[in-house]
Structure 1
Amino acid sequence: MSLPDFLVIGVPKAGTTAMHAALSRHPELFLPAVKEPKFFLSEGPPPARGGPGDAQTYQEHVWRRADYEALFDPAPAGALRGEATPFYLYDLDAQNRIKRLLPKAKLIVLLRNPVDRAHSNWTHLWAAGLESERDFVRACALEQSRREAGWAHFWHYVSQGRYGAQLAHLLGLFSRDQVLLLRYRELREEPVATLDKVCDFLGVATGLLERAPSENVTPYVADTQVNTVLRHILRTGGQIGHHFPVRVRETARAPFLAALQRQKGGRRPLSPEERAAVLPYFVEDIALLEEVTGLSYADWLTTGIEPDIVDDGS
């Protein structure tokens, strides 16, 4: 069977794309070109509907086991196989599926300050034209109604950042020595040492990875009348685009997305008031996270900022 030996399971907007790109360069590791196959997120076909653009994302799920195994068929003999889907930590059912199929897998988790993670997540969807709520704090407040309407994981700005509960469940399934817990800022500030830590955890040679490639940086998108129109067009396309072939959909979407992202410059960082409004969502869970891991995350309770892995002005 061509199944993975290790998984990068969390969290979104915390350097998993850079981690995937870096590990792909190691001669003793194999990661498929498809990042985020999302295989463990469903037992069968994913839902057909959700929030703006969700139906198109669901079409990208590699949900058939034969297709999933085929991703790893090109792996060289003796190479450890792995993949990165950062929603696996958040989805407790996905954790259960991983346990059933890959009970001996090694799991890599990258955690980021949950307020900064949520803001980067919101910004990503805003820049893609899919997020209609221009106020980040309000977008967080809308989460429950969006979840009830079936919007996909990537819209769960708050819930995805409650790592304590997610890790408590994970460590009830897997032994602690199967889980490598990293902080996003380690990958950002000390990429070589962090990648060596990952290689040591996986049991492959260290000293071969020199950097974490610059990946997945959200472009700057201003809140203007022109961009409001462009975002409306992109959201409408996101709702109907799944009826068309992928190439047709991407070709039609490209000029509108390029126009939306035409401006350069850093996005406005979170204000102290915005941070103070969102932080209470996470305070109890940060305490749980410290209890579960035995590590301190007290810095997340302050106004400290963890910018994206490449400084895009946040």
Structure 2
Amino acid sequence: MQTTDIDFVIVGAAKCATTWLQRALQSDPQVAMPDPELHYFSRHFERGLDWYLDQFPSGAADRLTGEKSNSYLDTPQAPARVHAALPHARLIVQLRNPIERAYSDYCMLYRRGEVGSDITRYLDPDSATKRRFLDDGLYYRQLEPYLERYPRERLLILLYDDMLRTPQAHLDHVRSFLGLAPRALPAASRKKVKDRTEPMLSPSLRRLMQPIRPAIEPFRKTPLFRAVRRQVVREIAYPTFPLALRNRLAGYYRPDIAKLEALIGRDLAHWADPAEADTPFGLMADQSRKTAHQYS
């Protein structure tokens, strides 16, 4: 396969339901996509182009071929690398309210045991030292290098909000951009992609087990391992998201959102409204946690 055979790349953003989009496209036999995120143009560029091309399914040259790696949006080197190898590819970006994206990203690392419960330490624009949660939501800044290299018509900018409201129309829009006929949304894509209410090991226990993970990995699928795991997992209680912190984040993102609005011709003022939050964790009653957002 030659690089010109790669027709499209979903470049991000992280925690914006691009996995939902990938699975919906993969359900079409006309589309060929590697199952894992390759992260070639961001984290594994040293492996070389041959390695990259070898990751695509056999017979992919006869189908519409693409891949999805969220890190291509937030890695500064990625746009130049993508363009050098795939100058004629179509690019897809799916964007979510950056405030909710930051909180969802924080919750993911919290349940992994990689961050603590002091949410202000990680999400306060004035004091956070781990800038990943904050800066990965500066979408216009991340899109600029792609817009400098690709014609605007080759970059499809989608909104997570639209996927929530009208998933079939959302998918039809993507398929039209890729030159595909409309196709019914697969049943699997109507279900949850990731469920933060699913019982898991507590963050503290995950941290304790981190050093021995390589040793227990071969046993993860055994009945005994699963039986033991069922005894120790529980639903994660996520730290609350204070309204004052949310408002500070709204101010932090406001200049970037204004540029994004001008670029896509959409009013995104609702992103700063707590009543429009798509992550009810920490903002609503405990009962809302049971029906927490499907695609976080």
CA contact (8 A) 2:172 2:183 kept: yes
Q: 1:232 aligns with which of 207, 222, 238?
A: 207
5 Å matches for 1:75-154? 75-131=59-115, 133-141=116-124, 145-146=129-130
5 Å matches for 1:1-314? 1-3=1-3, 4-34=6-36, 36-42=37-43, 44-45=45-46, 63-131=47-115, 133-141=116-124, 145-146=129-130, 156-210=132-186, 212=189, 213-219=191-197, 227=202, 229-234=204-209, 236-237=210-211, 244=214, 247-248=217-218, 258=229, 262-264=233-235, 270-303=241-274, 304-307=276-279, 312-313=291-292
Name stretches of at least 5 consecutive residues in structure 2 with no aligned partner.
281-288
- Partner of 1:277, secondary structure, is helix
The alpha-carbon distance between structure 1 residues 44 and 24, as it changes in their structure 2 partners (threshold 3 A), is closer
TM-score, with length taken from structure 2: 0.80
CA contact (8 A) 2:34 2:57 kept: no
The alpha-carbon distance between structure 1 residues 210 and 276, as it changes in their structure 2 partners (threshold 3 A), is same
The number of residue pairs the alignment matches comes to 277
CA–CA distance in 1 between the matches of 2:52 and 2:246?
40
Higher RCO (CA < 8 A, seq sep 6+): 1
The alpha-carbon distance between structure 1 residues 191 and 260, as it changes in their structure 2 partners (threshold 3 A), is farther
Shift in Å, 1:299 = 1.2
CA contact (8 A) 2:15 2:101 kept: yes
Shift in Å, 1:137 = 2.4
CA–CA distance in 2 between the matches of 1:292 and 1:261?
48
Shift in Å, 1:298 = 1.3
* Paired residue type of 2:192: S
* Paired residue type of 2:14: P
Q: Which of 192-201 and 207-216 deviates more?
A: 207-216
CA–CA distance in 1 between the matches of 2:166 and 2:134?
27
The alpha-carbon distance between structure 1 residues 261 and 312, as it changes in their structure 2 partners (threshold 3 A), is farther
Deviation sequence 1:100-148 (CA, Å, 0-9, x none):
10011101110000010010101011112222x212222124986446x
The alpha-carbon distance between structure 1 residues 259 and 123, as it changes in their structure 2 partners (threshold 3 A), is farther
- Partner of 2:182, secondary structure, is coil
CA contact (8 A) 1:8 1:83 kept: yes
* Paired residue type of 1:215: V
CA–CA distance in 1 between the matches of 2:57 and 2:265?
39
CA–CA distance in 2 between the matches of 1:247 and 1:231?
13
* Paired residue type of 2:277: I
CA–CA distance in 2 between the matches of 1:22 and 1:43?
26
Shift in Å, 1:265 = 7.6
CA contact (8 A) 2:18 2:94 kept: yes
The alpha-carbon distance between structure 1 residues 144 and 264, as it changes in their structure 2 partners (threshold 3 A), is closer
TM-score, with length taken from structure 1: 0.76
